[in-house]
Amino acid sequence: MKLTAKNIHPLPSHVAIVPDGNGRWAQKHGFSRVHGHREGVLNMLRMIQYINAYPIKYVTFYGFSTENWNRPEPEVQGLFDLVEEFVTQHLDEIHQKNIKISHIGRWNGLPSNLQNAIQKAVAHTANNSGMTLNIAWNYGGRAEIVDAVTKYVKNENKPQQLDEKTFANYLYTAGMPDVDLLIRTGNETRLSNFLIWQTAYSEYYFTKVLWPDFGKRDIEKALLEYSKRNRRFGGL
């Protein structure tokens, strides 16, 4: 049976993906790590197209973490170049699909040309009403919470009573629902400081498949597995 939005129910509103395994995929095939990341970026485009066929409103990709700065400089620069290339070359294609691009993470430290490319993409797609594509670049879950506290403290008109709902308005994902389904590829079973506030009650789906090999059937399996979960949010 062909899996579609009609026979997978319920579907998540917000899917977060940790696309792990690019380096190991490259090593397995005798390529450089940067080549592996290139294949991973190309697969991200394919995955956006797959997911966009479903009525899933939000998708967040973990692109570059605040800890990834510890990687070798050539690899970091290669990642920057690939993302700038991806945003520049595929912006019109994404825009034509009515997808809205959003950046979550810290701007400081990123090369100015990469900042400009991402900001252009965000502005160009700002009025789109389809799926929102969050690119988590220079992102860390703990850093996000620190930044949210800083914004709250600096806000002269802040509410005196701070609760979880109010605090969420200071996060990078303000106005978006929490993550329903978190997918991590590459046989790793940890969050790695990704959306730690937003995934408090997420369903997790871990797979051994390396990200460049993660395809249409794999995302279908993840969505089907999610549809079978009984989400109780602490209740019976």
- Give the closest residue to 171 by CA, choosing from 205, 134, 201: 134
> Would residue 138 show up in a list of annotated catalytic residues for this protein?
no
Whether the Cβ atoms of residue 182 and residue 199 lie closer than 8 Å to each other? yes
> Would residue 20 show up in a list of annotated catalytic residues for this protein?
yes
Strand stretches in the chain, DSSP E: 14-18, 58-65, 100-104, 132-139, 181-184, 203-206
Write a three-state SS string for 91-138: HHHHHHCCCEEEEECCCCCCCHHHHHHHHHHHHHCCCCCCCEEEEEEE
- Give the closest residue to 167 by CA, choosing from 145, 187, 188: 145
Torsions phi, psi for 50 (to 5 deg) = -65, -50
- Give the closest residue to 196 by CA, choosing from 66, 24, 108, 79: 66
Whether the Cβ atoms of residue 56 and residue 86 lie closer than 8 Å to each other? no
Q: Which of 20, 138, 180, 218 is catalytic?
A: 20
Q: Which of 68, 116, 128, 193 is catalytic?
A: 68
Residues forming the active site: 20, 68
